[in-house]
Amino acid sequence: MKVLHEISEVRDARKQCKSTLGLVPTMGALHEGHLTLIRKSVEKCSQTIVSIFVNPTQFGPNEDYEKYPRTVEEDLKKCEAAGADYVFLPTNQVIYGTEKPLVTLNVDKEMTSILCGKSRPIHFNGVAQIVSILFNIAQPDVAFFGEKDYQQLTIIRKMVADLHFPLEIVGVPTVREESGLARSSRNRYLSEAELAVAPNIYKVMNIIKEKANSLHAKNETVPVETLENEAKKMISELVPGSKIDYFEIRSTNDLKRSENLAADSRIFTAVYVGTTRLIDNLYIGK
């Protein structure tokens, strides 16, 4: 496995790759979720490049950019074991240079004012910016993203269609701890007591899914707000010290809300456990 620091080195690697190149963009602090994406790429593509870059433009002023976990040495070992051919490890200077960019991407308000966008208003513009820069640098044939960040995946798919990026996006199902807690680089912020209760978020999501499905089997109309309120109450009880940012049921396809449960409904949630913000989502269908 080669570690690349410069854009010219990535371009050379791209030129040398005569068949399909897979890209796995990450911010490092790699865990089993990231490694699953890398393995998927190794399986599907003839060569795989993993990028590790904590992108400053997707963090708000009061977010955890400075303290975001950075574990490069361990990450490199994990990438190699997962079968990556290259790791791209750029500095801020390599990606953004020293001058303020004249052209940036703006994701439509319809998407950035809901779910995570509500409390992180600049986040998805920063994500669109770095992902499109990485696409332009590596020119992959396929890029892999986790369903764990479902709103991000939805926005990236639409951006690729809107801007005609010549590549395929593959979404990979969320990888979880045995407890059900979605794997996340931020889980390492959780205290032991918080780690013990955080899996209850996924338990509540499943209770709501079962309830929704059984009501539907009886042909009853299911107003999503009733289910959402029930879920919020359960999370407050089962996850002491938590603060719910949102718990919403929306369309899997376009993230729009409807009054009643729809054929492609999905639960989306973000919950602060102590000071750590955890996100998760679950398909419930009808």
Residues near ligand AMP (CB under 6 A) are 26-27, 33-34, 36-37, 145-146, 148-149, 172, 174-175, 182-185
Crossing angle of helices 72-82 and 32-44, in 10° steps, is 40
Q: What angle do CA 170, 87, 150 make, to 5 degrees?
A: 30
Residue pair 127/155 in contact (Cβ under 8 Å)? The answer is: yes
Of the two residues 37 and 204, which places its CB atom closer to ligand AMP in the complex? 37
Of the two residues 185 and 265, which places its CB atom closer to ligand AMP in the complex? 185
For the CB of residue 245, give the shortest distance to ligand AMP in the complex, in Å: 17
For the CB of residue 62, give the shortest distance to ligand AMP in the complex, in Å: 19
Residue pair 28/54 in contact (Cβ under 8 Å)? The answer is: yes
* Other Cβ atoms closer than 10 A to 65: 14
Of the two residues 36 and 47, which places its CB atom closer to ligand AMP in the complex? 36
For the CB of residue 166, give the shortest distance to ligand AMP in the complex, in Å: 20
Dist. CA 152–CA 175, nearest whole Å: 16
Long-range interactions of 229-234: CB distance < 8 A, separation 24+? 231/204, 231/205, 231/207, 231/267, 231/269, 234/204, 234/207
Q: Which two tokens stand for residue 121?
A: 């208003």
Which residue lies nearest ligand AMP, judged by its C-beta? 146
For the CB of residue 205, give the shortest distance to ligand AMP in the complex, in Å: 14
Q: Which two tokens stand for residue 231?
A: 């879920």
Dist. CA 266–CA 208, nearest whole Å: 11
Of the two residues 37 and 224, which places its CB atom closer to ligand AMP in the complex? 37
Dist. CA 110–CA 106, nearest whole Å: 11
Which residue in 5, 31, 34, 123 is the catalytic one? 34
Burial of 246 (0-12, 13-18, 19+ CB in 10 A): middle
Dist. CA 244–CA 234, nearest whole Å: 11
Dist. CA 77–CA 71, nearest whole Å: 10
- Is there a catalytic annotation at residue 123? no
For the CB of residue 196, give the shortest distance to ligand AMP in the complex, in Å: 19
For the CB of residue 25, give the shortest distance to ligand AMP in the complex, in Å: 6
Of the two residues 26 and 57, which places its CB atom closer to ligand AMP in the complex? 26
Q: Show which residues are catalytic.
A: 34
